[in-house]
Each structure stands twice: as structure tokens, then as C-alpha cells.
Amino acid sequence: MPITDLLTRNANSFGDDVALVEINPLVRERPDWKEYNLVEPSPGDVYRRQMTWKEFDKKANSFANHLLYKGIKKGEKVGILLMNCLEWLPIYFGILRTGAIVVPLNFRYAADEIAYCVDLADIDVLIFGPEFTERIIAVKDSMRIKEYYFVGTEADTPVFAKNYEKEIAYFTRRDPGIVITDEDDAAIYFSSGTTGFPKAILHNHLSLLSSSEVEHKHHGQTRDDNFLLIPPLYHTGAKMHWFGSLAAGSRAVILRGVKPEWIINTVSEEHCTIVWLLVPWAQDILDAIERGDIKLENYRLSQWRLMHIGAQPVPPSLIRRWKKYFPHHDYDTNYGLSESIGPGCVHLGVENIHKVGAIGVPGYKWEVKIVDTDGNTVKQGEVGELCVKGRGVMKCYYKDPAATNEVLKDGWLYTGDMAMQDEDGFIFLVDRKKDVIISGGENIYPVQIEDFLRKHDSIKDVAVIGLPDARLGEITCAIIEVKPGFECTEDEINTFCNDLPRYKRPRKIIFAEVPRNATGKIEKPKLRDIYAGGSVVAAENEI
């Protein structure tokens, strides 16, 4: 069945219960945001908005019926370019109910990237917010968009767009009744771009439904749970974790911001029980607690039962530190790719916290294998490429059969991640296949060095890349971001690394910011552009 049926069920069974809450901390913290030319918090300019399941369902139906009236047909593409807001999910489900394919776009895209993705995905209609008007105007003439919809005030609506709320106001709120099957195309997501220009990833309706089942099975959401949703909804991670709330019919809170104080305050005020964090956000919360900026006794947090992390390897030291302040929390690690409809194809499991550092075991109804370069399963303890198989594997890279054939083989998705399985059957990520450094004939896996360096008390974040070397081919370079208020020297890092095997020790140390994308992944192509292109000396002089 299509995942939209879960929304119908929730609206019929508990329609008057709150489904979604939006919190805009900037409105409370900076009521003068207009004076300082800050980005508009959201339509309405209020701190808190909410929506019941019945309202959610009706909004989705109204937009679906409007799109159908405008001639959008099954299989056509409708793009969403919005910051997280209360309108996001009803728009998403409205598109799905028409039988059209929904295409979420990264809100960090520059104008040319928006145009590239619109063209690649054959987007026919684009829904956007006020933050993106200038970017769209810059490339509008190069895009073949039939219709634009603006989510914001009528006064701010550009002349080339229709106002979303005004247009849907007069359309029936009944389900349009479009027949959708599991095999019908549902959504195109874009890869994060950490290994190059983004690819368009096509999923069917079965993928979306399976992700809700996986999330619900792993984290056991009930009607009493309340999920704090912070990461961007354009990405599979945040949305697929929220799908567990959809399956349970439980509330979720959309928080527009990642400041530690905002997160803890929202958990307290909204009585959130489940929070999914990225590594940097968890680190920032712990740092704020240890600085005294957050005093836990001032908040209501006893209902918070689960903190889980995904999108990148998780340092065991971080979780040990977390449990010091939140000893009653269950913890889980989630692994997945947009090609496997986001998180859950591998997960640690809340019962396996003793194995922190591993990404875990195969997820619900998923299969996993680790293979060598010839596709043969490696022995336990050996490093190979992680492959996954399940109902959430993508259909293809849209309009790119060559790239599809590289990663889809006999139903298996070759992830590009190097991994090993220990004697207990737990899988550990070693590194990205493309990030492996070959120095003097030795394979060096940057993640192992990064995990080691994160144990240093002064290090906030670290990224290890390879730099060209005439004799060894490549040498390891550690870009280290120091915690605010701490000091660290190259000699200190070199001494600390004496516990590493000699060939794994960084040959170059650079103190600088470690860039991460909106889903928390280190942007290593950006670091290579900066430091592997002959600009290392200049960069060091700037620090």
C-alpha cells in the first residue's frame, strides 16, 4: 500500500490529536529579526504552530486536488525547495497522492545547482520558500518549470509564482482517489554530493512504506512518543525517522535550528521522548553542559527515552560522555544511504550499547554482505565493501543506467563503504571506498585515524585526507578543529599519535574548521580542493 494510507488512517482514527508542531526559536530570541535582515523564521512569524492529523490530511488532499486540476499527471515531477516548516510534510504527501513523483531539493544548493537538479530530475512544478526567491530568479529563464508555488505571505509572493495557501484554499479536501501501487515511482532524492555532483535517486512507493516499518520496528514508537525532528526534511534521514511517528500515529516537533539550548529547551517544553542527532550537535550539547551554559536541572527531561545518531561513524568516546549526563537514555546508531531509502538497513539496536563504535547488524528485513573486489564474500574480520539488499533499495539512478549498473548487482546495493564484521557479527565501518589513502603501498582508512584523534580532549572535530606525495603516492593529513577555549599544538598531536602504528600517523597537521554538510557528513571533496591543490601553506598561515 502507499505510505499515504497511513496518513488517512491517522486522520480517521485520531484526527483531533496533534500530529506536527513547529518551533521557531529565532522569533523568541530575536524579535527584531527583520531589522537585522535575518531570514524570515517561517510563514506566520510566530514561535509555535501546530497541526492535527485531520488538518494534515486535508491540507495534503487540497494540494493534491489543485495539482490534478492544473494538469499534473501520474509520473510527473514536483520539486520542494523549502526550509523545514509546518507546510513541508502536507505538501510532500499532497504530491504523493496525485501519483506524481516528489523531488525534495537541498536548501543549501546555489542557483546553478538548483537548475542542474531541476533539469536532471525533469521537474515540472516547483514549490519554494522566501529564502530561495533570489536564487530561483537567477536561473529561472534556464529552467523548464510549468508552475511555481510560493510558501509565504501573499505580499512577498514573486510575480512569476502563485501563493500556495491562496491557491489551495478553494479546493476540495477529499482524497482524490488516485490508484497507486507499491511498484509506482514515488520520489527522487539527491545524493549528498560528498563524492561529487549529486545523483538523482529514484524510489518507488514500496521503498517509502518499508522505511516506516523499519523505523517503527527498531525504535518502537507508540502513540505516547514525541519525536524531535531537527535535520532537513529534504534528506531521507530525517523524514524516514519521522515515518516511524507516522506509523505509530504519534506527535513530532519540527525545530528550526540546532543551537544546544534550543534543542534542550524544546525537549523540555514539548515533552519530546525521541531525538535524532548528528555527531556535531551531540558534541555541542555536551560542550554547552560542561561550560555551564545548559544546566540540566532547569529542564524537564525525564520523559526523554531515546537518543540516536546516524549519517556518519560515531566515536565511542562521544556516547560514553553522553551517558555520563543522560544515563537513562537508550541509544542507537543508524546506518543507511539515500540509495537505501535512508537509515535502518544496518543499525546497532538499543540492546547493544556495549558495541558502540559498530554500525550494528542487518536491519529489519534487510540482508548484508561484505565483499572483495571480485564480489566474493570476505572472511570474518577482513575488510571489504559493504553491500545491502532489501525492499528499500532504490530503483535506479534516474537517467543514469551506467551509474546504476555500477552499484546495483543482482538486487544488491554496493554502498561504496568499506567495512568489516567482528566475531560477534557486528559490522564496523572502516571508510568510504573512494576515501581510502594508499601510502607506500599500504591501505590507510581515514575513519580509523579520525576515531583515534577524537579521543583527544582538545579536539572538537577532525577529518583525515590524503595529500599527493612524490615518493609515497599519498601521505595522511589531519585537519583538526579545536574546541572553543582550548589550545593544541602540532607537537602535542604528534605525541598523542605515538600510540598509532607508524604508517597510520598523520604526516601533516592542519588546524582549521572541518566542513560538514546539512546531514553531518564531512565534505572531503571540499577539503581536498583546499589542501591537496597546493594551498596548504596559505591555509596554515591563515590559522
- Measured CA to CA, the distance from residue 14 to residue 53 in angstroms comes to 7
Residue with cell 535512508: 342
**Res. 108: pLDDT tops 60:** yes
Is pLDDT above 70 for 43?
no
Query: What CATH number does domain 305-396+406-432 carry, 3.40.630.150, 2.30.38.10, 3.10.20.340, 2.40.50.140?
Result: 2.30.38.10
Task: Report whether pLDDT(195) > 50.
Answer: no
**Residue 158, Cβ density class (10 Å: 0-12 exposed, 13-18 middle, ≥19 buried):** middle
d(CA 327, CA 277): 17
Count of all residues that appear for the chain in the document: 543
- Would the pLDDT of 84 be above 70? yes
Q: Supply the pLDDT for residue 192.
A: 65
Answer yes or no: is pLDDT of 308 > 90. Answer: yes
The DSSP secondary structure of 106-137, one letter per residue, reads -TT--HHHHHHHHHHTTEEEEEE-GGGHHHHH
The one-letter code for the residue type at 98 is T
For 454-498, the pLDDT digits (tens) are 889 899 999 999 888 776 778 899 999 999 889 999 999 999 998
The H or E element that residue 51 is part of is strand 48-52
Cell (9 digits) for 472: 609515497
* 97 pLDDT above the threshold of 90: yes
Q: Mark residue 32 as left, alpha or beta (left: phi above 0; alpha: psi -120 to 50; beta: remaining).
A: alpha
Quick one: angle between helices 279-291 and 316-325, nearest 10?
Answer: 40
**194: confidence class by pLDDT, cuts 50, 70, 90:** very low
What was the pLDDT predicted at 533?
A: 65
Name the residue ranges covered by the structural domains of the chain.
Answer: 4-257, 305-396+406-432, 442-542
On the question of pLDDT at 539 being above 50, the answer is: no
DSSP per-residue codes, 304-370: --EEEEESS---HHHHHHHHHH-TT-EEEEEEEEGGGTEEEEEE--GGGGGGBTB-BEE-TT-EEEE
* Section 499-523 average pLDDT: 84
pLDDT, position 471:
64
Q: What is the mean pLDDT of residues 222-234?
A: 95
Q: Do the beta carbons of residue 528 and residue 539 sit within 8 Å?
A: no
Write out the three cell numbers for 386: 559493504
pLDDT for 41: 47
Average pLDDT of the segment spanning 298-307: 97
Q: What is the mean pLDDT of residues 221-236?
A: 94
Task: Give the CA-trace dihedral at 461, 236, 19, 363, to 10 degrees.
Answer: -90
At 185, is the pLDDT very low, low, confident or very high (cuts 50, 70, 90)? very high
C-alpha grid cell for residue 187? Answer: 520520489
Q: Cell for 137? A: 530568479
The yes-or-no verdict on residue 442 having pLDDT over 70 is no
* This prediction's pTM: 0.83
List residues bridging with 297 in a β-sheet. none
CATH of domain 4-257: 3.40.50.12780
Given a contact cutoff of 8 angstroms between Cβ atoms, the answer to whether 218 and 349 are in contact is yes
pLDDT higher than 90, residue 322: yes
What is the distance, to the nearest Å, from the Cα of residue 516 to the centroid of all Cα atoms in its chain? 11
Using the predicted structure, report yes or no on whether residue 35 has a pLDDT greater than 70.
no
Supply the pLDDT for residue 540.
29
Q: Which of these CATH numbers, 3.90.1150.10, 3.30.300.30, 3.40.50.10800, 1.10.1660.10, describes 442-542?
A: 3.30.300.30
Residues 118-135: tens digit of each pLDDT: 999 999 999 999 999 999
**C-alpha–C-alpha distance, residues 75 and 55, integer Å:** 26
Q: What is the per-residue pLDDT for 537?
A: 31
User: Do the Cβ atoms of 476 and 437 come closer than 8 Å?
Assistant: yes
pLDDT of 91 higher than 80? yes
Mean predicted lDDT score pLDDT of the chain: 89
Q: Return phi, psi of residue 480, to 5°.
A: -115, 125
Please state which of the ranges 31-35, 295-299, 372-376, 416-420 shows the lowest mean pLDDT. 31-35
If pLDDT is split at 50, 70 and 90, which confidence band does 280 have? confident
pLDDT of 313? 66
Secondary structure element (H or E) that encloses residue 472, with its range: none
Please list the residues that pair with 515 across neighbouring strands: none
**Averaged over 21-36, what is the pLDDT?**
72
d(CA 458, CA 491): 13
Whether the predicted pLDDT of 538 surpasses 90 = no
